[in-house]
Chains A and B, each alone.
Chain A
Amino acid sequence: MQRQFIEIIVGLFVIAGVVALLFLSLKVSNLNSVAVTDPYQVNARFDNIGSLKVRAPVTMAGVKIGRVNEIRLDSASYQAEVVMDISGEYKNLPVDSSASINTQGLLGEQFVSLEPGGQQEYLANGDHIRLTQSAVVLENLIGELLFSNSQGAKQ
């Protein structure tokens, strides 16, 4: 009787530990949204990527459709080359789509936003996105604002 009781309690303890781990993996961490299913890769070149990081989200119309897979410097053109994994669910992105780097909120993380174009041909694995818009660097913006203000004051 005593022995059975101890075994039941220990069993409950182990099960509670496993349940807690499940809770941490499913409810607390991003395990259920980490995988981009059946991805294909699309490249884009930017003059300046700001503080974009690998694994940042790629969105279209605000919906997450992929992740940034790799960022490297193209030493011929001195531009940043961003390789994105797009989920296989979204195969019909027009080839003349444009990419821009936006910020979540004023000071949040940066992400790549795609705007659909109008052509009937679709982006395939390894294609390049031609139309790109660099990240808005807040410091430069403030600098320009101050500069134009002082110009206005002189006149």
Chain B
Amino acid sequence: MISVVRRTGAVSLVVFAATGRACMLLMQMLYSIPSAIRRYGLLIEQLYRVGVLTLPIIIVAALFVGMVLALQGYNTLVDFGAESSLGLLVALSLTRELGPVLAGLLFAGRAGAALTAEIGLMKATEQLAGMEMMAVDPVWRILLPRFLAGVLSVPLLAVLFTAVGIFGGYILGVDVLGVDQGVFWSAMQQGVDFQQDVMNGLLKSLVFGVLISLIAVFMGYDASPTPAGVSTATTLTVVLSSLVVLVMDFCLTSMMFQ
């Protein structure tokens, strides 16, 4: 009995300590943002590796998500003679939920895992320690550009996901299923509010971007410097960031759309 309590306490302590270290790392990174602006070339390079290279999977996924939404929505709506609301259904689902969430999940799998593996391997091969020996701060030189690139990329990717998804819904709904083109767009414009839907979706994706990037960078930096440690850290990044995205999405939704 007492050992169960003790085990719980031990696990909690580990989790709390890791959260604390992550927050300290975040503060350290925020503190060195001003000096990072001088070396914006580093950020551009990471934006390319983290953001641009994630773009193909985002576009293909969004196209198919938009099309499947249109197909499912049409099959249900046509029973009520309400297929004119198809555009609204596709646009609202994508701007409010699917755009930010799926872009976040795909980003965590494609870029977050890569970031953790890269930083973890740098730590395992003592490249980070070597940098410190040369008086180069690894947080500033390695972690910060990757973190900022993630924070900037996720909202851009989420917006692109939403736009491409709506386009996919349009292709299937209008060209294949025969919903009227004008009705598709006008129902969408009447029902989607810029502040309420588009901006809240963007805000969500920004929150996801900060969380996923922080988790990815921290897990790599905090990994134990062994092959098993790096692989555990990579797994944890994907699992934790997916969970955090989904849980935070629920919390944000319940606050935004009352």
A residues whose Cβ falls under 8 Å from a Cβ of B: 3, 6-7, 9-10, 13-14, 16-17, 20-21, 23-25, 27-31, 33-34
A9 proximity list for chain B (CB < 8 A): 48, 52
B189 touching A28, Cβ below 8 Å = yes
B189 touching A30, Cβ below 8 Å = yes
Residue among B44, B48, B95 making CB contact with A24, cutoff 8 Å:
B95
A-B contact count (CB 8 A): 68
Residue among A3, A14, A25 making CB contact with B198, cutoff 8 Å:
A25
Is there a chain A Cβ closer than 8 Å to B252's Cβ?
A: no
Stretch at the interface among B25-33, B110-118, B153-161, B243-251: B153-161
Is there a chain A Cβ closer than 8 Å to B190's Cβ?
A: yes
**Complex CA–CA separation, A147 to B166 (angstroms):** 48
Closest to A55 in B: B193
A–B Cβ pairs within 8 angstroms, 16 of them: A3-B41, A6-B44, A10-B44, A10-B47, A13-B47, A13-B52, A13-B156, A14-B47, A16-B156, A16-B160, A20-B159, A21-B198, A21-B202, A24-B159, A28-B95, A28-B189
Residue among A14, A24, A34 making CB contact with B162, cutoff 8 Å:
A24
B residues whose Cβ falls under 8 Å from a Cβ of A: 41, 44-45, 47-48, 51-52, 55, 91, 95, 155-157, 159-160, 162-164, 166, 185, 188-190, 192-194, 197-198, 202
**Complex CA–CA separation, A111 to B164 (angstroms):** 33
Closest to B155 in A: A17
Counting chain A CB atoms within 10 Å of each CB, which of B45, B159, B164, B197 scores highest? Answer: B159
Closest to A6 in B: B48
A28 touching B156, Cβ below 8 Å = no
**Complex CA–CA separation, A29 to B197 (angstroms):** 8
B44 CB, nearest partner CB in chain A, Å: 5
Known: A13-B47, A13-B52, A30-B192. A24 touches B198 (CB 8 A): yes
A16 proximity list for chain B (CB < 8 A): 156, 160
**Complex CA–CA separation, A59 to B100 (angstroms):** 36
B55 proximity list for chain A (CB < 8 A): 13
B52 touching A10, Cβ below 8 Å = yes
B47 proximity list for chain A (CB < 8 A): 10, 13-14
**Complex CA–CA separation, A33 to B189 (angstroms):** 9
**Complex CA–CA separation, A124 to B160 (angstroms):** 46
A30 touching B194, Cβ below 8 Å = yes
Counting chain B CB atoms within 10 Å of each CB, which of A3, A24, A34 scores highest? Answer: A24
B160 proximity list for chain A (CB < 8 A): 16-17, 20
Known: A13-B47, A17-B156, A20-B160. A28 touches B202 (CB 8 A): no
Q: State the 5 A-B residue pairs at the shortest beta-carbon distance, nearest first.
A: A17-B156, A20-B163, A29-B194, A31-B194, A29-B192
B202 proximity list for chain A (CB < 8 A): 21
Closest to B191 in A: A30
Closest to B189 in A: A30
Counting chain B CB atoms within 10 Å of each CB, which of A13, A16, A30, A34 scores highest? Answer: A13
Known: A16-B160, A21-B202. A27 touches B185 (CB 8 A): yes
A24 proximity list for chain B (CB < 8 A): 95, 159, 162-163, 198
B164 proximity list for chain A (CB < 8 A): 20
B91 proximity list for chain A (CB < 8 A): 28
B163 touching A23, Cβ below 8 Å = yes
B110 CB, nearest partner CB in chain A, Å: 15
**Complex CA–CA separation, A6 to B189 (angstroms):** 37
B155 proximity list for chain A (CB < 8 A): 17
B157 proximity list for chain A (CB < 8 A): 17
